[in-house]
Amino acid sequence: MGTRLEVTAPMQGTIVEVLVSVGDAVRRSQPVLIMESMKLEHVVEAEGSGIVRDLLVAAGETVLEGQVLAALEEAEVAAAVETTVETVDLDRIRPDLAEVVARHAVGLDAARPASVERRRKVGRRTTRENVADLVDDGTFVEYGPLVVAAQRRRRSLDDLIANTPGDGLVGGIGDINGDLFPGHASRCAVVSYDYTVLAGTQGAQNHRKKDRVFELTERLGLPLVVFTEGGGGRPGDTDGIGGAGLDCLAFYLFARLSGRVPIVAINSGYCFAGNAALLGCADVVIAARDSNIGMGGPAMIEGGGLGVYEPAEVGPMSVQVPNGVVDIEVADEAEAVAVAKQYLSYFQGTLESWSCADQRLLRSAIPENRLRTYDVRNVINLMFDTDSVLELRPRFGVGMITALARIEGRPVGVIANNPNHLAGAIDSDNADKAARFLQLCDAFDLPVISLIDTPGMMVGPEVEKTALVRHCSRLFVTGANISVPMVSIVLRKCYGLGAQAMAAGTLKAPLATVAWPTGEFGGMGLEGAVRLGYRKELEAAGSDQEREALYQQLVDRMYQHGKALSTGTYFEIDDVIDPAESRRLIARTLAAVPPVTRREHKKRPNIDTW
């Protein structure tokens, strides 16, 4: 007799079916019985080859773990015993999978030609086209594509599936700028309202989808892009258990991301109410010129008894760009996506390849006539890497330039006075613009390059009506409390409190403060200092010609005392340099700064929305 082989129960359960009979030849791993445990069926296999001698259980019996179910006499099983080899059709789509595939397809553009055509008629792209353009091919992982609007009490499920895919919101994570950073492209979170679904309104389910993506964004430290086109809160959802819905988490979770990760809002078309609230929390707002952005749309305005308006009358770009709400105005969604990718690239790291203009051109960028104005944007474009400058809010606070740029591939922030507006004097809007930009650079560890050409803070009764004292002081408080390195270059005028504010409060705060040969320094503008300090002497002069000659003589004398070379002898600045050496000085100074390690927590509580 051969050795006895036992087939035992791997767990407690019930016998469903016995697959062999006494006397059958059984191969190793051949199924012998099927048993059920906790609503799942388990196949019990033979652990060796042999002949079935005893079947100790029958279908319907309950057995315990380790109980003997059958006994085999070990034996060689003839090779002639027929075996069946199961083959798998790798291309077969099972019915359950086919249902899933079909359901996902409902929300794709190909299944919604009428919706796509409506977008084409207004010259805009679909939500999925925008997302596909933003993230690298094949990298997007979507969250909640099967969700439908919370309106099951008033509409059929088939209707909701066909007409409210994703509850009007696409959200997920994908790679971005893989072409610029091969091998280590950053992941990026994306949320996009879909205007073709219930006018891009905020429904109960798409709020929950946003919550999910925002939580992941914070947990993983991902940059976030939000496409904000839509009409705000939706009154038609019926499936919630709450009242006003003011306990939704989306706005709280989104606002908490400020200062934690770079946030970009992109808009085209109408953006009202809740959608606009999200847009306003972003670090940078990029809007197509056909945008209308407002905290309330026409319905809310009319409901408040404030009049009847068309949507296009509320918050057009002619209002929202010069007032500073929009950072960058673009032609359309395609340009908006391209600019968003460029903006995010500054927070992804250093580019390996770069080029720059002939730096000798900087030697003639400032006119030899010290009273002649010039284009400071030309200076910026020459000094920094070619095509690397991205200016923010160019039509707001026009006396101050704020821009992202690169030096030898390294991303930096740039602030610069604009002598074409108030001679570069700093007013309330200029101070707010620069202070907020310093917060942005500090939050994400971008060094700051300050290009100084200012006669000081703006003065006068009219500008004081703008709360100038508080606004200008904001630039001092912010600058003195950033921790990123700063390099200051005095292009020409460096006068008074305005010049100190441009250098974080003192010319000794930056890692290096240097001047071009055109630099000139003083507690206030030379001309004003002469008129105030030498008033008696000027009044005592004889004729107008003599008074003018004395005035010019005094101004020239003060200029000789305050020009860059003279100031350098007092060590008020670190050096006077050849303008063509500006890039080298910036690059070498920043090279001495230890690299920043990955940050797990916020450096700043938040970045001001204004």
Orientation angle between helical segments 127-134 and 333-345, nearest 10 degrees: 30
Q: Give residue 411's pLDDT.
A: 98
CA–chain centroid gap for 251, Å, is 16
Structure-token pair, residue 503: 């250098």
pLDDT digits (tens, 9 = 90+) for 57-67: 999 999 999 99
What is the C-alpha separation between 225 and 190, in angstroms, rounded?
5
**264 and 378, same domain (yes or no):** no
Instruction: Provide the 8-state DSSP code for 4.
Output: E
Question: In terms of domains, do 258 and 380 share one?
Answer: no
pTM: 0.88
279 with 426, same domain: the answer is no
Alpha-carbon gap, residue 213 to 187, rounded angstroms: 13
Residues 254 and 281 occupy one common structural domain: yes
Sequence-ordered alpha helix ranges (H) in 35-177? 95-106, 113-121, 127-134, 157-163
Intervals of the chain under pLDDT 70: 1, 79-86, 241-243, 524-526, 528-533, 558
- Asked whether residue 551 is domain-assigned, the answer is no
Is 195 a member of any domain?
yes
Do both 421 and 567 map to the same domain? Answer: yes
pLDDT for the residue 81: 46
**CA pair distance 565, 562, nearest whole angstrom:** 8
Q: Tell me, what's the pLDDT at 141?
A: 97
Closest to 288 (Cα-Cα) out of 116, 118, 123: 123
427: tokens are 């007013």
Q: Do the beta carbons of residue 344 and residue 262 sit within 8 Å? A: yes
Q: Quick one: angle between helices 544-562 and 526-533, nearest 10? A: 120
Contacts of 83 (CB under 8 A, 6+ apart): 27
Is residue 21 within 8 A of residue 52, CB to CB? The reply is yes
Q: DSSP states of 213-247 as a string?
A: HHHHHHHHT--EEEE--B-SB-S-----S-SS-TT
- Of the candidates 319, 196, 216, 191, the one whose C-alpha atom is nearest the C-alpha of residue 266 is 191
Rounded percentage of the chain residues whose pLDDT exceeds 70: 96
CATH code of 60's domain: 2.40.50.100
Residues comprising the chain, all counted: 610
Tell whether 157 is covered by a domain. yes
Residue 510 is given by DSSP the state S
Distances in Å between the Cα of 117 and the Cα atoms of 109, 114, 192, 525, 529 are 10, 5, 19, 61, 66
Q: Contact 353/409 with Cβ under 8 angstroms?
A: yes
Closest CA to 68 of 53, 57, 60: 57
Answer yes or no: is 14 within a domain: yes
Q: What is the CATH number of the domain that holds 117?
A: 3.90.226.10
> Tens of pLDDT along 480-494?
999 999 999 999 999
Residue 399 sits in the same domain as residue 285: no
DSSP-assigned states of every residue in 500-515: HHHTTTSTTSSSEEEE
Please count the structural domains in the chain: 3
CA 419 to each of CA 382, 385, 422, 456, 482: distance values in angstroms, whole numbers, following the listed order: 17, 23, 7, 11, 26
Burial class (CB within 10 angstroms; exposed 0-12, middle 13-18, buried 19+) of 176: buried
Q: Tokens for 570?
A: 């007092």
Contact between residue 9 and residue 44 where contact means Cβ atoms under 8 Å apart: yes
Report d(CA 217, CA 31) in Å as an integer: 48
Please answer whether residues 44 and 65 qualify as being in contact, where contact means their C-beta atoms are separated by less than 8 angstroms. Answer: no
Strands 62-63 and 40-45: unpaired
Same domain, 111 and 244: yes
**Does the residue 231 lie in any domain?**
yes
**Burial (0-12, 13-18, 19+ Cβ within 10 Å), 294:** buried
- In terms of domains, do 476 and 508 share one? yes
Which pair of tokens denotes residue 27? 């191969």
Task: Check if the beta carbon of residue 446 is closer than 8 Å to that of residue 392.
Answer: no
- Classify each residue of 553-565 as buried b or exposed e, where b means 16 or more C-beta atoms within 10 Å of its C-beta: ebbeebeeebbbe
Cα–Cα distance between 276 and 268 in angstroms, integer? Answer: 12
Residue 474: domain span:
361-519+563-591
pLDDT of residue 80: 46
Q: Which helix (H) or strand (E) holds 384?
A: none
Question: Quick one: pLDDT at residue 237?
Answer: 84
Residues 333 and 366 reside in one and the same domain? no
330 & 263 share domain: yes
Give Cα 5 distance to the centre of its chain.
66
Q: Which of 345, 377, 409 is the last residue of a domain?
A: 345
- For residue 604, being part of any structural domain is answered with no
pLDDT score for 94: 92
Asked, for residue 110, whether it belongs to a domain, the answer is yes
Annotate 91-119 with DSSP letters as a single string.
T---HHHHHHHHHHHHTSGGG-HHHHHHH
113, 220: one domain: yes
Cα→Cα distances 162→115, 257, 486, Å = 12, 34, 55
Do 143 and 290 sit in the same domain of this protein? yes
Is 544 part of any domain? Answer: no
Contact 283, 225 (CB under 8 A): no
